[in-house]
Amino acid sequence: MEKHSKPTKYAAPAGGKRRQHLHDKDSMKEKRKQSNAEALGIAPVEEESFMDLMKTELLTLKANRTKIRYANTYRLESYNKFQDYVVRNKAQEILTNKLQETKYDGVSSPSLCASISEEILMAIKELGYDRYKYVVSILIVEKAGQAINVASRWVWDVQRDTWVSAKCETETFIVLALVMACYYE
Amino acid sequence: MEEFHPHNDEMIFNADEAHNIVKECIEGVLGKADYNHNKVNQWTAAIVEQSLTHLVKLGKTYKYIVTCAVMQRSGAGLHTASSCFWDTTTDGTCTVRWENRTMNCIVNVFAVAIIL
């Protein structure tokens, strides 16, 4: 009966809003808490003392893997924006350094591919641009007289997200590196 | 306030769904065709654009990056690798390999979550 009466507290003055918010959340998650309490072997919390409420909320949060909510920063842009030319030069440098002497080898190429990818990712992380997620994609193609076509499209924020590509060509193979940076907050 | 977006808290990228969508797109475009140098540009563009439209139609709050590589089959080796710096609980990737008698096709889908 307690559970059903709680949602009717909507029509209260703005001052008491925060406390009510907790109660509303509480009534929504009451059932979940009960079943969680049973699963965890604790007696369900009947009295809503603040500390107990917080503890059981934390347990239910962990149990349900919900997202942590951060306070507003009121920042709409990144302070340290992604710089295309710097990243392109860096990626090009890494490619040429790693691949000047090597010949295409079917056995060692997979690990080479993965290691270049990780190296470029670490280098970009070190440059330390604010609020970006990165995707680095590497293609190693052996030269055997065939043609290859690579196309990409994206659905993203055109003003904030960007991409950069670097290419390295040797006698026996071609390496293409694509770096995509997506803004997130 | 949080009740308005209940699904946002438990967003996970569904790789199987994406895999099926992309596979259908590839088969629709390449189907029984043989490698044709003149048409390859059109094909890659079509595969990527169709995959993207179908992924967006799922209606989830994600940014998508779709990459497609089509290569003529000539016994040459092709390696691809990717590494990503993102939130592993919400973001994900999916790779689809397809081939026929004359060509190989690899499509990568990367999905980056948007927090509302």
- What's at A22, amino acid-wise? L
pLDDT higher at B63 or A47: B63
Answer yes or no: is pLDDT of A104 > 80: no
ipTM > 0.85, yes or no = no
Closest listed residue to residue B62, CA positions, set B110, B24, B3, B4: B110
Tokens of A3: 């559970």
Contact A149 B55 (CB under 8 A): no
Answer yes or no: is pLDDT of B64 > 70: yes
Answer yes or no: is pLDDT of B1 > 60: no
Q: What are phi and psi of B42, to 5 degrees?
A: -60, -40
- Over residues A109-136, the mean pLDDT reads 90
Task: Identify the residue among A27, A60, A133, A172 best suited for mutation to test binding to B, counting B beta carbons within 10 A and taking the highest.
Answer: A133
Q: What is the mean pLDDT of chain A?
A: 77
pTM of model > 0.95: no
> A29 contacts in B (CB within 8 Å)?
none
* H-helix or E-strand spanning residue A181: strand A173-183
Distance of CA B37 to the CA centre of its chain: 22
Task: Identify the residue among A64, A115, A152, A172 best suited for mutation to test binding to B, counting B beta carbons within 10 A and taking the highest.
Answer: A152
Answer yes or no: is pLDDT of A132 > 60: yes
Please give the Cα distance from A181 to A159 (Å, whole number): 12
